[in-house]
Amino acid sequence: MPLTKVKKAFVEQHRTQHYPKINAKHKLAMDRNENPLLPSKRVQDAIYQEFNQLSRYPENSGFKLRNALSERWDLNPDYFLIGNGSFEILSLLALVFLDQDSEVIVPEGTFIWHKRFSQFNGAKVINVPLNQNFQIHLSHIVDAITPQTKIIWLTNPFNPTGTILKKQDLLNFCSKVSSDIIIAIDEAYIEFANLKSEATSKQFVIDFPNVILLRTFSKFYRLAALRIGYAVAQPELIQTILPYRIPPNHNRLGAVAAIESLHDKTSQKETFSYIKNEKEYLITELEALDFKVIQSETNFLFISLEKHPSDFIEKLAEEVIFKDGQFFGFPNYFRITIGNTEQNRELIRLIKKIINY
Ligand SMILES: Cc1ncc(COP(=O)(O)O)c(C=O)c1O
């Protein structure tokens, strides 16, 4: 096939990894960090209303959604780029800024698509170990910068460990990085940590022309099926990416649902306290069973297996879909998404059965 050298190496490396095995026996799916709650009635009604427009293309630039975001963030609409999920924007960033002479830096174990999209474009991925508290090690990342570094991919809070960086530490870090390097801060889970996170995050894009924040409506806002994500950055950076976007890249139902979700403060508070309460329940139960749980600011937990039998993961995998820590390079851990009340109790029941509690 007429593949370029870079594409050929990539395809050969990833060809066999496409279709996950689904085991029909699985009782619980707790691997994708989705929100266990459905969109509110108010958001569902807004989606139904839009059915009258299904024969029409979406407005190309996401004008109405960018205006709603502009209000929410108190930033000009030109600071926003809408994507078909934040996945699309991650892939665009790599497409625009990377080639086979580039390096990117990622924290060890990071969200796999930051690496994958970089490798699509031939870039070399440099992994930097986390600190002993499973947090991104910012000073080691600064040390890993070379003249070839083009993007530093951070996730805050970090996926898979759930830990968060302090705002001031992250600001200090950004001031040490040359403005020729893109700092992509993926904030897919930040609303679970802070209901007013926009006010905190805004400073990064005001102070630094090379910082781009990635946000999504898939997690906190309960809209994973409708594929809406967005980026926030200074207009010049947004305008550099725009020519590579496929128009129109997002759908009408997703756009109206996202706008309504931004206005629906009741649902936001509901998600925030629901996940907080379920998280507390799971941590209490797991700790009582001798598991060590890393402090999480997200809707998932990263759990140590130290004190449990070596076949625990295999047995749990017979009944539950979750992420084995091995997948991220942490063999004695597993990551579990916080489910609904029923699922979380069922999970604890299954775990107790496996360890004969
Ligand atoms: C860190 C991170 N970024 C981005 C995404 C993708 O989000 P979206 O649904 O907006 O494409 C995920 C999904 O799991 C994620 O964990």
Task: Using CB atoms within 10 Å of the CB of residue 3, give its burial: 0 to 12 exposed, 13 to 18 middle, 19+ buried.
Answer: exposed
Per DSSP, the chain holds a count of helices (H) and strands (E) of 13, 13
The mean pLDDT value for 184-189 works out to 98
pLDDT at 68: 98
pLDDT at 317: 94
Q: Is the bond preceding residue 157 a cis peptide, omega within 30 degrees?
A: yes
Cα of 307 from ligand 1 centre, angstroms: 31
Angle between helices 5-14 and 112-120 in degrees, nearest 10: 140
Q: Are 182 and 214 contacting, i.e. CB atoms less than 8 angstroms apart?
A: no
Give the residue range(s) of CATH 3.40.640.10 domains in the chain: 41-264
pLDDT at 325: 94
Mention every residue, 6+ apart, whose C-beta is less than 8 A from residue 200. 167, 194
Mention every residue, 6+ apart, whose C-beta is less than 8 A from residue 60. 247, 248
Task: Tell me if 110 CB under 6 Å of ligand 1.
Answer: no
Which atom of ligand 1 is the closest one to the Cα of 88?
Answer: 11
Interatomic CA distance for residues 52 and 75, integer angstroms: 31
Q: Are 313 and 204 contacting, i.e. CB atoms less than 8 angstroms apart?
A: no
pLDDT at 260: 98
Q: pLDDT category, 34, cuts 50, 70, 90?
A: very high
Q: Are 139 and 117 contacting, i.e. CB atoms less than 8 angstroms apart?
A: no
Topology of the domain comprising 5-38+266-354? Aspartate Aminotransferase, domain 1 (3.90.1150)
Interatomic CA distance for residues 63 and 313, integer angstroms: 47
Task: Tell me if 192 CB under 6 Å of ligand 1.
Answer: no
Does residue 24 surpass a pLDDT of 60? no
Dihedral pair phi/psi, residue 177, rounded to 5°: -95, 135
The mean pLDDT value for 203-231 works out to 98
pLDDT at 327: 93
169/22: higher pLDDT: 169
Tens-digit pLDDT profile for residues 229-272: 999 999 999 999 999 998 889 999 999 999 999 999 999 999 99
Task: Tell me if 224 CB under 6 Å of ligand 1.
Answer: yes
Q: 230: helix, coil or strand?
A: strand
Nearest C-alpha to atom 12 of ligand 1 is from which residue?
Answer: 188
Cα of 185 from ligand 1 centre, angstroms: 12
Task: State the chain's mean pLDDT as an integer.
Answer: 95
Task: Tell me if 115 CB under 6 Å of ligand 1.
Answer: no
* Domain 41-264, architecture per CATH: 3-Layer(aba) Sandwich (3.40)
Give the residue range(s) of CATH 3.90.1150.10 domains in the chain: 5-38+266-354
* Residue 252 token pair: 């009408």
Q: 310: helix, coil or strand?
A: coil
Nearest 5°: CA angle at 87, between 65 and 108?
Answer: 130
Q: pLDDT category, 307, cuts 50, 70, 90?
A: confident
Q: Are 282 and 339 contacting, i.e. CB atoms less than 8 angstroms apart?
A: no
Instruction: For a ligand 1 pocket test, name from 189, 192, 215, 216 the mutation site with the most ligand atoms within 8 angstroms of its C-beta.
Output: 216
Tens-digit pLDDT profile for residues 139-177: 999 999 999 999 999 999 999 999 999 999 999 999 999
Task: Tell me if 216 CB under 6 Å of ligand 1.
Answer: yes
Does residue 18 surpass a pLDDT of 60? no
* Residue 295 token pair: 């402090």
pLDDT at 306: 82
Pairing of strands 333-337, 323-324: antiparallel
pLDDT at 297: 98
Percent of the chain past pLDDT 70, that is, above it, reads 97
Tens-digit pLDDT profile for residues 330-354: 999 999 999 999 999 999 999 999 9
Residues in the chain, total: 357
The mean pLDDT value for 14-43 works out to 81
Closest CA to 165 of 275, 295, 284: 295
Nearest C-alpha to atom 15 of ligand 1 is from which residue?
Answer: 188
Q: 154: helix, coil or strand?
A: strand
Pairing of strands 300-304, 320-321: unpaired
Task: Tell me if 157 CB under 6 Å of ligand 1.
Answer: no
Interatomic CA distance for residues 250 and 62, integer angstroms: 8
Which atom of ligand 1 is the closest one to the Cα of 216?
Answer: 10
Task: Tell me if 111 CB under 6 Å of ligand 1.
Answer: yes
Establish how many alpha carbons lie within 13 A of residue 278's alpha carbon, considering only the half-sphere containing its beta carbon.
Answer: 27
The mean pLDDT value for 203-213 works out to 98
Instruction: For a ligand 1 pocket test, name from 86, 213, 215 the mutation site with the most ligand atoms within 8 angstroms of its C-beta.
Output: 86
Q: What is the DSSP letter of 100?
A: T
Tens-digit pLDDT profile for residues 78-110: 999 999 999 999 999 999 999 999 999 999 999
Q: 200: helix, coil or strand?
A: helix
Does residue 14 surpass a pLDDT of 80? no
